[in-house]
Structure 1
Amino acid sequence: MATRSPFRLGTRGSPLALAQAHEVRRRLGDAHAELAEDGAVEIVVIKTTGDRIQDRALAEIGGKGLFTKEIEEALLADEIDAAVHSMKDVPTWLPDGLVVEHILPREDPRDAFFSPHGDSLAALPAGARVGTSSLRRQAQVLIARPDLTVEPIRGNVDTRLDKLAAGTVDATLLAVAGLRRLGKAGRITAALSVEEMLPAVAQGAIGLEIRENDERSRGLLDAICCRDSGLRVAAERAMLETLEGSCRTPIAGLAELSDDGAGLRLRGLLAMPDGSAVFRADLQGSVADPIGLGKALGQELLASAGSDVIDAITGH
């Protein structure tokens, strides 16, 4: 009898991306006996434009879609069965024929702070240099501490921490989720509260993208999907889509479920990259309509900022 083709997971080749792909493979094996066998789930590494260009900020080279484009092309060409993404890297617009319907249980969405000077932005000396290529982090750093200097810094976790150790910068920020998935959480100086540093939309969430008409993949992934994480990500991404956000726009957002699981609280932030203007919104809604909640909060932020500020923030 012919053996069935392996289930192919497409992923970037960074240590974090591979850790996420292995997590998906482990969860699939736990959920389906036939996928627990050796070779039943294949991890296919695909190099993306965002991985190839490391010397410039994402905003300069086209935004976060540069981490998904080549993987989506492989998916459309039937070279893989599912794409494994960090959802914070996925644009709100997807190519025709592709869908993201499955979100794994979300990791800690907070930002990790690293510095030999203390455990918060407040502890940094005047004029200290904070290394980050994220406009979201840059804006919130400068909102809290206008006296600090933000310097662009890209690369994987070890590259960024090596630059900190070498004294190139005085502090840096990374996602707690990625550090936990890499087994490096013990190196975190402190996890910043969401009040101090609101996370990126969908930070800590792994999403699985498939072809819309691929019922085999959909059926296999249904077993590892987390409903609550999906609701939270849907609300946050609806807010982002309403704001037409990109890597050129400092936007933050976090949705959290109420204790009874019936409600959602969504917080959002829109800012100037230099921290000179910031707009915040905080709304409650029902889990029955996370997208409606996200759109409503996005509209509230747009109304608060006004067209002139929006044009200034987005560069239109």
Structure 2
Amino acid sequence: MKKIVIGTRASKLALWQAEHIQACLEKRYPSLEVVLEKITTQGDKILDTPLALVGGKGLFVKELETALLEGTIDLAVHSMKDVPTVFPEGLTLSVITERDDPRDAFVSRTGKTMAEIGPKARIGTSSLRRQAQLLAHYPEWEIVSIRGNVQTRLNKMEELQLDGIILAAAGLRRLELAHLITEYIEPATMIPAIGQGALGIEIRENDSAVAEMIAFLADETTSRCVRAERTLLRTLEGGCQVPIGGYATSDAAGNIALEGIVASLDGQEVIRHSARGNDPEALGNAVAQTLLDNGAREILDVVYNQ
């Protein structure tokens, strides 16, 4: 191949991610022309409605997947936390890259930490997962729904005079905004989103040339951990934005530790379970089944029927 076209959303963070993959390909294949195709998704257009009410995370990938199927682009770069667990026929997730910091981060408007801002704080986030876990620890906080790219959310924090907002640490780091982070939120307090911090590359299922070309970008340890997390999500049937978190780590021997959480939207009910294993899919399914058996099924039924 002499040319390859990467599909990407047009936000600064999405462009950073696509340009990172572009640079890796250009370094590996000096004679290859790598072009970026900017595509606007429904998730980028609808900013005044919570994702859970308008179709969930799939809103950020549908137009990219259409371009793949039509042959307009050769691959699409996604944040793994935005990728649904089921792909359209003919498409596949070919590569998961090495993970950046998976944690959530608290950005304070006043410089105060979460413990310092008091019981009547107003915190901005559009994520039901973040909302539920925040309220579990700080039940008197007011959660204000804000959507948009990183800069939009930072601007809304000022405009709405919020005490702070929650963002993915990896996104802030990639945009060279880590200095804005007041504190990193450890998984013990807030389990991250499925796949948070990793990038995924989606291609056409029968495109062996592109698959071979990008195979060097895959990170085996991250891939195994994210597969466990995504199996957890798929077994829980978390197809739209739901209060589900999952985070897996791997030791030197390849053993995976996975912790999952399902919480009610008000944070009053929190179901957590962790386990270890060697098979990512079997582990993800086992943790999910235990969560369901321990009360997660009832919580999710309420969320889906709202």
Q: TM-score range by the shorter chain?
A: over 0.9
Aligned CA-pair RMSD:
1.5
Cα gap change, 1:191/1:119 in structure 2, threshold over 3 Å: closer, same or farther?
farther
CA distance in 2, matches of 1:163, 1:62: 23
Three-state SS of the structure 2 residue aligned to 1:209 is strand
CA distance in 1, matches of 2:254, 2:121: 44
Q: Which residue of 63, 69, 73 maps to 1:80?
A: 73
Q: Is the 8 A contact 1:118 1:124 kept in 2?
A: no
Please list the CA deviations of residues 164-223 of structure 1 after superposition, one character each: whole Å capped at 9, or x if unmatched.
234531110000111111111111111111111110000011000011110110011111
Q: Please report how far the alpha carbon of residue 246 of structure 1 lies from its aligned counterpart in structure 2 after TM superposition.
A: 3.4
CA distance in 1, matches of 2:260, 2:24: 31
CA distance in 1, matches of 2:179, 2:13: 16
Three-state SS of the structure 1 residue aligned to 2:245 is strand
| Equivalent position of 1:283 in the other structure | 275
Q: Which residue of 255, 259, 278 maps to 1:263?
A: 255
CA distance in 2, matches of 1:116, 1:155: 18
| Equivalent position of 2:7 in the other structure | 10
State whether structure 2 residue 105 is matched by structure 1 residue 105.
no
Question: Which amino acid is 1:285 matched to?
Answer: G
Please list the CA deviations of residues 144-167 of structure 1 after superposition, one character each: whole Å capped at 9, or x if unmatched.
010100010111111211222345
State whether structure 2 residue 53 is matched by structure 1 residue 32.
no
Three-state SS of the structure 2 residue aligned to 1:255 is strand
CA distance in 2, matches of 1:252, 1:306: 12
- Runs (4+) of structure 1 exceeding 6 A deviation are none
| Equivalent position of 2:236 in the other structure | 243
Q: Please report how far the alpha carbon of residue 5 of structure 1 lies from its aligned counterpart in structure 2 after TM superposition.
A: 4.6
| Equivalent position of 1:55 in the other structure | 48
Q: Which residue of 161, 173, 186 maps to 1:168?
A: 161
Worse-superposed segment, 241-250 or 59-68: 241-250
| Equivalent position of 2:304 in the other structure | 314
Counterpart mapping for 1:62-77 below 5 A: 62-77=55-70
Q: Is the 8 A contact 1:130 1:170 kept in 2?
A: yes
Three-state SS of the structure 2 residue aligned to 1:54 is coil
Counterpart mapping for 1:291-310 below 5 A: 291-305=281-295, 307-310=297-300
State whether structure 2 residue 141 is matched by structure 1 residue 148.
yes
| Equivalent position of 2:266 in the other structure | 274
Question: Which amino acid is 1:191 matched to?
Answer: Y
CA distance in 1, matches of 2:29, 2:248: 31
Q: Which ranges of structure 1 fall in alignment gaps of 5 or more residues? A: none
Q: Please report how far the alpha carbon of residue 315 of structure 1 lies from its aligned counterpart in structure 2 after TM superposition.
A: 2.2
Three-state SS of the structure 1 residue aligned to 2:24 is helix
Cα gap change, 1:52/1:34 in structure 2, threshold over 3 Å: closer, same or farther?
same
Worse-superposed segment, 109-118 or 213-222: 109-118
Please list the CA deviations of residues 99-142 of structure 1 after superposition, one character each: whole Å capped at 9, or x if unmatched.
10201111100011011455543222121101001000000010
CA distance in 2, matches of 1:295, 1:156: 33
Cα gap change, 1:116/1:95 in structure 2, threshold over 3 Å: closer, same or farther?
same
Question: Which amino acid is 1:95 matched to?
Answer: P
Please list the CA deviations of residues 66-101 of structure 1 after superposition, one character each: whole Å capped at 9, or x if unmatched.
000010000001111101001111110100111102
Q: Is the 8 A contact 1:121 1:145 kept in 2?
A: no
Q: Please report how far the alpha carbon of residue 31 of structure 1 lies from its aligned counterpart in structure 2 after TM superposition.
A: 2.2
Counterpart mapping for 1:215-230 below 5 A: 215-230=208-223
Three-state SS of the structure 1 residue aligned to 2:31 is helix
Cα gap change, 1:109/1:246 in structure 2, threshold over 3 Å: closer, same or farther?
same
CA distance in 1, matches of 2:295, 2:16: 39
Q: Please report how far the alpha carbon of residue 261 of structure 1 lies from its aligned counterpart in structure 2 after TM superposition.
A: 3.5
Q: Is the 8 A contact 1:31 1:223 kept in 2?
A: no
Three-state SS of the structure 2 residue aligned to 1:293 is helix
Q: Please report how far the alpha carbon of residue 32 of structure 1 lies from its aligned counterpart in structure 2 after TM superposition.
A: 2.3
Q: Is the 8 A contact 1:271 1:313 kept in 2?
A: no
